[in-house]
Chains A and B, each alone.
Chain A
């Protein structure tokens, strides 16, 4: 192409600061060494440390079970969180009971940490429903599939908290909005940044940067580290080692507490890696090399916590064995309950289109009911 050709785009293989060795808050190294940070720390009891480990192991085991269920045809699709357990457990445990979470479709670990039965979102993936739970009951919104849309919902909800006078003080409420690196390109997410900043919303934007939006690497979304985007919108951004559950907890707890005390929003970039496929429909070997995945295996969130617990003699083999057993039991229970999920009845699909019903929908339901009855006694559909 000639010089000045308007179609020439920047090459994608040029090094960018977004892909450079990240500077982030880390409290636990990949080998399980505790490190000091001037601003952030955790002060967990031994029991709390063991509890975090248990969460990580169970969340991973349930995720593996769901992947297996999909492979066996029992789920239509599954979005695995493999590799992102620390980001989800750390941030999920940092939430206080009164806080509200707005997830994507991958926040199974956060859901677990909210004390919610892990079966709850499985109907969506099995195809028997599309969520079906009350966000206000669980302080955990329904999974959102359209990328980034939930960040605006979180912002509006947080504005409502302010309007209700529920900020300021330890009993204040805060909101956490989950999204990924790909979502940061969406208009909705950028609009959420603007609104949250302008309205000083009690909100934490929690971006799990897992390096890929399906096949597209981070460099296709940004040329600056994502957490730095917050500066331009007028609030604080910070990057945390997303595979370090202690750092994720500490940074998120601080940001949530800032929000509930009226300090406004924070953007947290949890720097992590999607060890599996985007979903079970995806084949990551088409767009990334095995060596990269191997490198990230060395940063595994569970291994490093276990190494720390062993070194500090916070947990022994009996404990680790009991966690494995518990995780296995949870997985079996999940499997049994997925297999027992009843299929929806055809006429159920006409329910809940409008709060007060609709004559048109009622008529179509009645017509379809009569149509289905016309097959009664016959051998079914042709």
Chain B
């Protein structure tokens, strides 16, 4: 067992993948000598060289577009997009090319590309550095979309995503990069918890809370606070946003009858709506209250000095739980 931050666990996961497969490459802005602006690739260029840890020209469409070509050539590129709000120049390549190549080739071509995106707010940044664009990608057939929430998942999910033959958009909870946890790095990748699966991270009997990425910590904190008031919340980390693995959610809701979905992204068109629709279809007669969403508002991400009001927090989660019980 090692105690690692999420950031360091991602770094170690990337290192393992580079060691295990000479075809794995890392590409992005400032990923080399600097080790990335969040130091997720720290030390990798020193150990694996400039041929494999590639500081790219400053052009996101170029990063992803050339990764497509490298993948066709047999490489496994891991692209870093420096911040969530900078992915859009690459959006065309991701949606029109990365997502569709396998389908277009009738399954003859696989694009084992991972696109890493630090996402979400809470770091006091200026515009374009705090966004949650996951729904754009989860809405696109052909892409798989995951979000890690703790160091162990960061370590294993990164390796699994790289090993996957699907293109994977890998969201990293940037404001949680410095949170620590235990990681057992000695087991093998094949024994790791499946990549495209959700996970119950706290058991409870009274209401279910679903979250992913940075909001898992918020949901767990809310569950701790609720327990002090005698209410046991079950918390489920979605982990995979496309495909959604909702069987554990259905099982939970059938026991609790209540569901709150939490994400930082704006409410309208967000993943909360998809979860709510599917749970309503699957668990209609078990629900004691409508599925409630705690999300960012339908506004552009606001200025840093008001972001704590924008972001769902423990109080807003508990408020939603209260509303569910008051229905």
Contacts and interface: CB of A to CB of B under 8 A. Distances in A.
B298 A185 contact: no
**From DSSP, what is the main secondary structure of chain A's interface residues?**
loop
Interface string A318-347: 000000000000000000000000011110
B86 A214 contact: no
Q: Does more than half of chain B's interface fall in helix, strand or loop, or is it mixed?
A: loop
Contacts, number: 140
A128 interface: yes
Interface residues of B, number: 51
B87 to A, nearest CB: 11
Given A9-B50, A77-B125, A130-B127, A382 B314 contact: yes
Interface string B79-105: 000000110110000000000000000
B299 interface: yes
B323 to A, nearest CB: 10
Interface string B105-137: 000000000000000000011111000000000
Contacts of B75: 7
B299 A76 contact: no
B127 A12 contact: no
A65 interface: no
A145 B268 contact: no
A349 B75 CA distance: 45
A343 B308 CA distance: 12
Contacts of B237: none
A350 B54 contact: no
A20 interface: no
Contacts of B62: 185, 187
A122 B300 CA distance: 20
B319 A371 contact: yes
A375 B303 CA distance: 23
A364 B298 contact: yes
B32 interface: yes
Interface in A209-243: 213-216, 220-221
B225 interface: yes
Interface in B55-97: 55-59, 61-62, 70, 73, 75, 85-86, 88-89
B57 A382 contact: no
A214 B37 contact: yes
B315 interface: yes
A215 B34 contact: yes
A361 B70 contact: no
Contacts of B34: 214-215, 286-287
Contacts of A343: 305-306
Given A130-B127, A215-B33, A146 B86 contact: yes
Interface in B248-281: 267-268
B153 interface: no
A182 interface: yes
B303 A346 contact: no
Nearest to B222: A382
Contacts of B57: 182, 185, 216, 220-221
Contacts of B298: 353, 358, 360-361, 364
A331 to B, nearest CB: 22
Contacts of A207: none
Contacts of A3: none
Interface in A148-179: none
B94 to A, nearest CB: 14
A128 B305 CA distance: 5
A8 interface: yes
Contacts of A37: none
A220 B62 CA distance: 13
B266 to A, nearest CB: 10
A216 B30 contact: yes
Contact of A146 (B35, B128, B302): B128
Most chain B beta-carbon neighbours within 10 Å: one of A147, A343, A344, A349:
A349
Contacts of B297: 349-350, 361, 364, 368
A358 B297 CA distance: 13
Nearest to B65: A187
B309 interface: yes
13 contacts: A6-B73, A76-B126, A127-B307, A130-B303, A145-B127, A185-B57, A185-B58, A186-B58, A213-B29, A215-B30, A343-B306, A353-B299, A382-B318
Interface of A: 1, 6-9, 11-12, 76-77, 105, 123-130, 145-147, 182-183, 185-188, 213-216, 220-221, 281-282, 286-287, 343-346, 348-350, 353, 358, 360-361, 364, 368, 371, 374-375, 381-382
